[in-house]
Amino acid sequence: MFLMQIESLKVFCDLVETQSFTKAARINHVTQSAVSQQISSLERQFHSLLIERSKKQFRLTREGKVLYDLSKKIVSTYERLQTEMQELKEIISGTIRIATIYSIGLHSLQPYVKAFLRQHPTVNVHVEYRRSDKVYEDVLGNVVDFGLVASPHREPRLEVFVIWEEPMVVICSPEHPIARRRKIKLSALTGQRFVAFEADIPTRKMLDKVFREHNVPVVPVMEFDNVETVKRAVEINLGVSIVPRATVKGEAEKGSLAVVEVEDVPLMRPMGLLYKRGKVLSTAMKEFIRLLREKAPEDSRKAQDLPRVTKALEAKG
């Protein structure tokens, strides 16, 4: 009975934070109908209307606000209790939910997930591929436990850390004149047809800033929201592009893309870890983050604020 009450309070908190019955159901692995039933059960138990339901807005009643504030403390305390009991018994289990952008999820992250699951086979790691803005949204809404994004920005409600920086390279078709060179200066891209990421994607913003600062105008010919489509366009010689080196390892080995270094301008893309401020990290989550932090890819460099990650983990322990 006690556990059922805790679960109902957690569902209520998730509903308040996501303002979505669908998302609350997804977080708790239940149906939308089950979420509605648990909210109705709480309302009967406390003889109070908790949520003013309408199609246009989601709003808590005064009673709902009181229940949310206290329920959040109860749920957080219970999660911390579970974590500390697991740590005493040296148990690492449970589920880790991660949201990440395509280029990180399909390339940089995969070796870490495999290595972690070999060490901890009882943990379930669930990875979702999302646009960068949706990663932040999912972390804030507790739909996932943490997110991994490129060029992270600060958000007051989130803990945000850069855990490493990965090198970026110029890619082009093997038929392109640049393909004959191993290294170029950034100015060699002046006037080149450029296959870009969409304007609101952080990697695009970073590259636009680099081009402006070094007075290198390129000619954007196509824009895409993910690295896989960018690579396909470059393969058929529609233009050149700049992408993380890790994302083109396979194409470089097959010879379908030429990879060229920029020798005069450091092109490093920061990879950021984010989770909700105040979140209780399970033992499994902390171990996974430590794996990411301690074993950066060989051609990447660790970020200078790595000690802040360590402090955050210790504080959550």
> Which alpha helices (H) appear in the chain, and where do they start and end?
2-18, 21-28, 32-46, 62-88, 102-103, 110-119, 132-140, 202-213, 227-235, 249-254, 283-294, 306-316
Alpha-carbon gap, residue 19 to 143, rounded angstroms: 12
Alpha-carbon gap, residue 124 to 106, rounded angstroms: 18
In the prediction, which pLDDT does 219 show?
Answer: 96
Beta bridge partners of 120: none
In the prediction, which pLDDT does 315 show?
Answer: 43
Beta bridge partners of 224: 197
The boundaries of every CATH 3.40.190.10 domain in the chain are 94-147+279-316, 165-268
Alpha-carbon gap, residue 112 to 125, rounded angstroms: 11
In the prediction, which pLDDT does 108 show?
Answer: 87
In the prediction, which pLDDT does 55 show?
Answer: 64
Tokens 């060179």 belong to which residue?
A: 181
* Other beta carbons within 10 Å of 181: 13
Least confident of 13-22, 34-43, 53-62, 67-76: 53-62
Q: What is the DSSP string of 237-279?
A: TS-BEEEEGGGGHHHHHHTSSEEEEESSS--EEEEEEEEETT-
* Other beta carbons within 10 Å of 313: 16
Give the right CATH number for 165-268 from 3.40.250.10, 3.30.70.580, 1.20.1730.10, 3.40.190.10: 3.40.190.10
Residues 6+ apart with CB under 8 A from 167: 244, 245, 267, 268, 269, 299, 300
- Is the per-residue pLDDT at 262 higher than 80? yes
In the prediction, which pLDDT does 28 show?
Answer: 85
Q: What is the DSSP string of 109-146?
A: SHHHHHHHHHH-TTEEEEEEE--HHHHHHHHHTTSSSE
Residue 314 pLDDT class (50, 70, 90 cuts): very low
The boundaries of every CATH 1.10.10.10 domain in the chain are 2-88
In the prediction, which pLDDT does 193 show?
Answer: 97
Q: How many percent of the chain have pLDDT more than 70?
A: 90
pLDDT in tens, 53-92: 776 678 889 999 999 899 888 888 888 887 777 766 676 8
CATH architecture of 94-147+279-316: 3-Layer(aba) Sandwich (3.40)
> What's the whole-model pTM score?
0.73
| Rg (alpha carbons) of the chain, rounded to whole number | 23
Structure tokens at 106: 């399909």
Name the average pLDDT for the chain: 87
pLDDT in tens, 123-165: 999 999 999 999 999 999 888 999 999 999 989 999 998 988 9
In the prediction, which pLDDT does 142 show?
Answer: 85
Tokens 């996501």 belong to which residue?
A: 18
In the prediction, which pLDDT does 1 show?
Answer: 60
Alpha-carbon gap, residue 202 to 129, rounded angstroms: 16
CATH architecture of 2-88: Orthogonal Bundle (1.10)
pLDDT in tens, 272-291: 999 999 888 888 999 999 89
